[in-house]
Structure 1
Amino acid sequence: MPQIFAKKARLADGWAQNVLLDVKDGRIVGLRTGVAGGATGGETSVDCLLPALANLHSHTFQRAMAGMTEYRAAGRESFWTWRTLMYRFLDRLTPEQVQAIAALVFVEMQEAGYASVGEFHYVHHQLGGQRYDDLAELSARIAAAADQTGIGLTLLPVLYTYGGAGQQALAGGQLRFGNDPAQFLELVSAAQGAVAALPDDAQVGIAPHSLRATCPSDLAQVLAQTPQGPVHMHISEQPAEVEQISTWLGARPVEWLLQNADVNERWCLIHATHMTQAETIGLAKSKAVAGLCPITEANLGDGPFNGPAYLTAQGRFGVGSDSNVRISLTEELRTLEYSQRLRDVERNVMVLGEGSVGETLYLGAATGGAQAVGRDAGEIRIGALADLVAIDSQHVSLCALGDDKLLDGLCFAASDAVVTDVWSAGRHQVQNGRHVARDAVERAYRGAVAALVADL
């Protein structure tokens, strides 16, 4: 039975010293603290052990676009101009490239300290919208990348039926996304078949893309046919989106969804950036997770989340790397806090009352992210999945800090270079700071993007 010894670990009830974990079938089955004599040499020994986070929102293919949209064109730059290049990119993307890009992204996520991912997967078809012979061809490519890298996968096939609010027709690159509800449910079933070959912790949820890409009747139909598993949806990311939905449906996006769907613990609302106070409190009370993507939201100029009011209402949150322009767990958390400080002209915002901001951010994102992707994880306890990350607390960026300040140092002073080991459901994929499959994955990625960029 694999064992992990940590000089210290952040357990569900606080810090503990000389901790020995027993892992079986991907779960923690034994946990002892204050182990006399420390490591014996028969286990993997690490310095500091933490619950690993889930990356709750990712579009892996966009990783290959990183750096391509940072040139200012004439007129106002926004999410909508960024999307134009993304559609051009889609016109050339092959199944082999989808897999190669996803595998590198999953390696980078694990090296940054993430143990699992919610892959919001919306590229389903060939150019022009023609089906592959296997409807789940590209879903199977994502599953293959997860198998190659060992990351914990929650695959979220996307329902994308319309090109804009008011049931506009799909056009251009959107044709690769398109499914009506019946074909979407067929796709979900086929994706479940592709994921069935992965370890038992892998699963399939659903992702109605956004209110602008579906309609009330289609959304109700799909939800009725998928009563279990995670449900993710983009919502209120951009002011233009809020205006379009308000004009079409007569209510703001979060307001409409809370009134017309059973939003509960299954749900993860991605971004939820532009909310009123009432929407913020309503989302918190629903017990859904706010899926925050601070690096991407900053990159696209979306705006900051309404953090203080949401925390006060006991709202649940997690973080995701979304466009994957930069994959960094530590930077994701600090960008979330810094966005609040810049807006409010105040320090130490994302914490209730007095206390550690780093602890609030890290532990909140650990439990919220696990909920969002449907994993029994986010804490180090008996019975939980062994989604674990080890960091070097003696790294120069952390060595001056006691345990009570360590998560503050991780969030605000350290880089992901402090990560030494990562386990995804007990699979020891990152060792000594490097993913065990990195070399082969990186070679495949370099070949894939060289061909892709040459054709742009």
Structure 2
Amino acid sequence: MAGLAERRGDPADSFWTWREWMYRFAERINPEQMYAIAAQLYGEMLEAGYTQVCEFHYLHHQPGGKPYADPSEMSQAIIRAAEDAGIGLTLLPVLYQTGGFDGRALNATQQRFGHTLDAYLALIERLQRQESHLLKIGIALHSLRAVPEDTLRALLPWLDGRELPIHIHIAEQMAEVRECEAVRGARPVQWLLDNLPVDARWCLVHATHMTTRETRALAKSKAVVSICPTTEANLGDGLFPFPEYLKAKGRWSVGSDSNVSVSAVEELRWLEYGQRLKHQQRNLAANDKQPDVGRFLLDGAAKGGWQAAGVAKRDDHIELDAEAPVLLQASPEDVAGRFVFAGNRPLVRRVCSHGVDRVLDGRHIFREPFYAGYRLALQQLLAG
């Protein structure tokens, strides 16, 4: 749906109006189309230099909410796509129970997302039996508005002592912040830190709207934040307090969330550029130890990314095209800056993931069959 929501329909267009576009697709996708879309995406991600993806996955059931005969069927489509593409996958099935902080029921489209806690944990435990060198299973709590407080309390004994990644959308829009304050008496990040054992297993997606107190407390928790600059800009969410968070020694990574664009360098570039626009300064993502902004961003995103994925750092590597005009005469000292800030044309030439070449001469080894499947899926989704 990238590009299809870029037309004004409401003078007050926001995340909430964009979400209705997204739901139009979510209510129609079947397992075969899910595989085709995921395979195309993962091939593009490898071509862009990604070797691991955290998939925040909440399209579980048939339209109307009836489970498939195999309750993990949609998850299996994603797992197959990642295996075929050769990308490391941290699959994060999403727990989604209510339509808001007031506990209202899920709407018709959201029925595909819903689980009881028991059914959800059964899905997680079933998928965990499939874990491999390519597959890690974690959990995702969609958001504080979609997971009631009593469910969170009931989940704590199951989480105790388990080493698995735990992701949650949080404080993405100010409407969410205001509603959380009204219903739970605290801002979202503060409520989470005060009520749940947030530690290095946790990844807070967005965390855009935080006070100074929340920013410092989150950094102290050792959790990692997944900042999604292209999506947060596309949806008009706001800017993450990056300099303040770095000063507090917070851990961070980058994500895309809506996949409106698949470009690691775009995410990193706009993480820095957004702060330059806000603070009217340059070279903010750097410190005395690492003054090179490009290298600071690449190193920080990789370190935080491995933590968010819940897997050990591997010897994956990418090779850039040394003959690309922007990289001519590049030195070891300036290649990272050129890649991040001038890499508008694809610069990745070769990608080795899990010891296997997945991208050669800038093309995924299965680009053509992935494209054919994706083209058919898109024709079906856009028909009628």
TM-score, normalised to structure 2's length? 0.96
**Partners of 2:103 and 2:247 in 1: CA distance:** 37
Which residue of 2 is the match for residue 288 of structure 1?
223
Which residue of 2 is the match for residue 174 of structure 1?
110
Which residue of 2 is the match for residue 120 of structure 1?
56
1:164 deviates by: 0.9
Query: Is the counterpart of residue 390 in structure 1 residue 323 in structure 2?
Result: no
Is the 1:129–1:177 Cα contact (8 Å) retained in structure 2?
A: yes
Counterpart amino acid of residue 307 in structure 1: F
**Partners of 1:200 and 1:113 in 2: CA distance:** 19
SS state at 1:155 partner:
strand
Tell me which structure has the larger Cα radius of gyration: 1
Counterpart amino acid of residue 450 in structure 1: Q
Q: 2:182 aligns with which of 240, 247, 251?
A: 247
1:191 deviates by: 2.5
Which residue of 2 is the match for residue 277 of structure 1?
212
Which residue of 1 is the match for residue 83 of structure 2?
147
Which residue of 2 is the match for residue 184 of structure 1?
120
Correspondence 1:306-345 to 2 at 5 A: 306-345=241-280
Query: How many residues are aligned here?
Result: 381
Output the aligned Cα RMSD: 1.3
Correspondence 1:36-435 to 2 at 5 A: 65-193=1-129, 195-196=130-131, 199-226=132-159, 227-353=162-288, 355-377=291-313, 385-415=314-344, 417-435=346-364
Counterpart amino acid of residue 334 in structure 1: R
**Partners of 1:430 and 1:223 in 2: CA distance:** 41
Deviates more, 1:165-174 or 1:247-256: 165-174
SS state at 2:94 partner:
strand
Deviates more, 1:367-376 or 1:88-97: 88-97
Counterpart amino acid of residue 60 in structure 2: H
1:117 deviates by: 0.2
Is the 1:329–1:416 Cα contact (8 Å) retained in structure 2?
A: no
Is the 2:87–2:134 Cα contact (8 Å) retained in structure 1?
A: no
Which residue of 2 is the match for residue 42 of structure 1?
none
Is the 1:210–1:234 Cα contact (8 Å) retained in structure 2?
A: yes
Q: What are the superposed Cα offsets for residues 1-59 of structure 1, whole Å, 9 maximum, x if unpaired?
A: xxxxxxxxxxxxxxxxxxxxxxxxxxxxxxxxxxxxxxxxxxxxxxxxxxxxxxxxxxx
Q: Give the fraction of aligned pairs with identical amino acids, expressed as a percent.
A: 48
TM-score, normalised to structure 1's length? 0.81
Is the 2:82–2:89 Cα contact (8 Å) retained in structure 1?
A: yes
Which consecutive unaligned segments of at least 5 residues does structure 2 have? none
Is the 1:311–1:352 Cα contact (8 Å) retained in structure 2?
A: no
Q: 2:369 aligns with which of 440, 443, 447?
A: 440
Q: What are the superposed Cα offsets for residues 41-88 of structure 1, whole Å, 9 maximum, x if unpaired?
A: xxxxxxxxxxxxxxxxxxxxxxxx111100001330100000011112
**Partners of 2:147 and 2:300 in 1: CA distance:** 31
**Partners of 2:227 and 2:245 in 1: CA distance:** 12
Q: What are the superposed Cα offsets for residues 178-215 of structure 1, whole Å, 9 maximum, x if unpaired?
A: 0121111011123334x44xx42411000011000001
**Structure with the bigger percentage of strand:** 1
**Partners of 2:104 and 2:308 in 1: CA distance:** 30
